[in-house]
Structures are given as C-alpha cells and as structure tokens.
Amino acid sequence: MSRIELSLNPSSRALEIAERVEAFVRDVVVPYERDPRRDHHGAPLDELVYEMREHACAAGVLTPHILADGSHLTQRETALVLIKSGLSPLGPLACNTMAPDEGNMYLLGHKATEEQKDHFLKPLVEGRARSAFFMTEPSDDNGAGSDPSMMLTSCRQDGNHWVINGRKTFITGADGASVGIVMAKAEDGGACMFLVDLPDPAIRIDDVPNTIDSSMPGSHATVTIDNLRVPASQMLGEPGDGFKYAQVRLSPARLSHCMRWLGCCIRAHEIASDYACRRMAFGKALIEHEGVGFMLAENLIDIKQAELMIDWCAGVLDTGSLGTTESSMAKVAVSEALMRIADRCVQVMGGTGVTDKTIVEQVFREVRAFRIYDGPTEVHKWSLAKKVRRDWREAQA
C-alpha cells in the first residue's frame, strides 16, 4: 500500500517523535481495530484503551506532544505528531492525544496552579485517567451551544466552596472520566471554570445517546449537576474569566481535531487507493477509469490543502496569538475537505466502502460529525463574515 508523506518542515525532534508514533500506530494499534471490546454505542471500552496505552508507554509514544520536562511541542510540531497518531481511529486513544483530553491538558498546563497540576493534570499526562469538559447544554433548555453566552448552568459562592447547578449535554467521555472541567455562569454574568474529581454523586449521567461517531470512550453524555460543591481552591484561574480561558483552549483544540482526522483520512485514502488498484471492472483496474482515478487525484489535492492550512494556522498560534480567526478558517476548510475525501473513499470502494470490513466507513461517520464539533461550519463562516464587516467599518472610519 502506498503511503502519503507530509511535506511539512518540522524540527528534528518532532520528526523523530512522529516517525515512532506512525510505526506504533500502524504496527500495534491497527490490529486492535478488530477488537470487540466496545460498548453498545460502538465506542472502545476503557479496558481496551488502557491496554493500548501500556503498549504506547513501552514504545515511548504515550502523550508524545508533551515532553519529559512538562513542556509542549510547538503547534507546528504537534501537527505532525497528531496527524500520525490519527492514522487509526484508535491511535489518539492509544497515544493519549485524543479529544477532549489533549485540549484539557493544554488548558491545565497553561492556567492551573501547581497544586492543581499535580492533582488533575499529572494523571492525564501519564495516561492513567480520562477527562471531560462540561460546557455544552441541552437545546431543549435553550442552553449554551455554539453561543456560550447562553449558558444557564449557575455557580454561586458559599463560604470557601462554590455550588453549581445545571444541565449539560454532549459531554464527551463523561462516563468513565476521572477529571472534569465544569463551566458555569456566576451571578454577575461572568463564567467560571472548576476542576472536579469524577465520578461525583452530584453529577448524574441521564443519558448516553447513540451518535453517528463511535471513536470516543464514554461517548457523549447528557448530565444533571445538582448542588455540586467545589472547593474554591479548585476554581481554574480567576472568577469571571471562564470565557477567556475557553478561548485559550478553543483554537488549539479546534486545530488538533483537524490534525487527528486528517490522519484518519490519509489512511482511508490509502485503503481506497489500494482497492482501486487491485479491483478489476470492465476489463481494467478501477484506477484506470477516469471517474475513479479523478476522485483519488482530488483526494491528494484536498489532503495537501488541509495539511498546509493546518501548518499555517499552527504557525499563527506559535506566535502567541489566540488565532481565533485563523482557527475558524482552518476548521471550515479542513473539515469540509476531509468530508470530501472520506466521501470519495466510500464511493471508490462501492459496496465494500459502506461495510465495516475496513475503517473507511467509520472515518466517513467520524468526519461527518467533525463538521459540527467545535463549531459548525456555518457558525465559523458567520463569525468570519462579522470580521469582514468589522474590518470594513474600521477602514471607513
């Protein structure tokens, strides 16, 4: 099977890490794709996740984007490593580069106190725990989704504790997580973030719906938070700065999604290309039929454009910029490109493409969900359009 080589210009350390991650994912993780240890939603069980992590630890590729001294690779370096971890839907779970943990580790690394890092961040970095980020709220309640200002979950101070009440939905990995980051709105309207140990009897899982994707352990739960008491020492940062901290996490996490799922689509393209070169129809290999060959050619174009868009946005983040505009542009461009790639792979493989005989069908489902996760395409375009108008007004002033 021919493989696509990325043409980014990474540091020697990132290249070495990425090569080890790729070898591990292809040689060790890919065989686990047939492992039956899944829940009734099709998501991998923690037993499977932690078994793979033992192998990752032995191979020296567990949490590869965080170095031994606790520092992070640059975003451009991280891109190369996370793309390689994404070559299997199980790769990020095995290497501990998965969402939401990777984004949560990034946030805690930047905003947590030393005591908080020791208690909440350390087990995540070591791959001994999973985490969940409690922000999105049920649409039935008209709660916060793409518009965080609609947040209904409340927090109020009571002595040296804060009391939190509300409902959250689509909380990835909540079922089985050990670390939670809960967002709530204070009486003055500012948002706060709290670090919590899980499970907690005040956080009740009401429902774990079946979803189109199936790569996240614990799936995406709806929960009720009923008088959750959190010590003031477990507030992340300062009161009222929760929305600001969310921005610190948002752009890198948004881009990390692009990285991981680009890896998945590269692998899907490899599988579809192999199929097209072997499968005969109408007297010749499928690849020799223009309709098929052109689809795979278009895949190469979209893969390259996605790679370059990720690298460009990562470079912006590496300057210290929040990269809000750039990450919105990358999220739209990459998610839409990956959808086209995944769709073409299914089409090229015909009946085989819609079965679970390969990961192509799963990649299609995962990427379809990605067009919504971390902000639907339409929300990002709306935000970019607002910037166009704002820039126009400034130019007229």
* Residue pLDDT, tens place only, 278-306: 999 999 999 999 999 999 999 999 999 99
- Is there a cis peptide before residue 199, judged by omega within 30 degrees of 0? yes
Q: In this structure, are residues 154 and 197 in contact, taking their beta carbons and an 8 Å threshold?
A: no
Specify the DSSP element, H or E, that contains 306. helix 290-318
Dmax over CA atoms of the chain, in Å, equals 79
pLDDT above 90 coverage of the chain, percent: 89
Q: Structure tokens of 27?
A: 């040689």
Q: How far is Cα of residue 32 from the mean position of the Cα atoms in its chain?
A: 20
CB 164 within 8 A of CB 172: no
Under 8 Å between Cβ of 61 and 95: yes
CB 258, CB 334: distance < 8 Å: yes
Q: Which pLDDT tens digit goes with each residue over 373-395?
A: 989 999 999 999 999 999 999 99
Give yes or no for residue 1 having a pLDDT over 80: no
The closest alpha carbon to 344, from 308, 301, 288, 282, belongs to 301
**Residue 208 identity (one-letter amino acid):** V
Question: Does the pLDDT at position 7 exceed 80?
Answer: no
Quote the pTM value.
0.94
Which pLDDT does position 164 carry in this prediction?
A: 98
Tokens of 134: 């409690």
Q: Inform me whether the pLDDT recorded for 11 exceeds 90.
A: no
Backbone angles phi, psi at 232, to 5 degrees: -60, -30
Looking up tokens 């085989």 gives: 352
Q: What pLDDT does 244 receive?
A: 87
CA distance 343 to 360: 9
pLDDT value of residue 274? 98
Beta 179-185 vs 131-134: how paired, if at all? Answer: parallel
Q: Give pLDDT tens digits for 46-84.
A: 999 999 999 999 999 999 999 989 899 999 999 999 999
Distances in whole angstroms, Cα of residue 35 to Cα of each of 38, 44, 47, 137, 340:
8, 9, 11, 33, 28
pLDDT tens for each residue of 108-165 = 999 999 999 999 999 999 999 999 999 999 999 999 988 888 999 999 999 999 999 9
DSSP state of 28: I
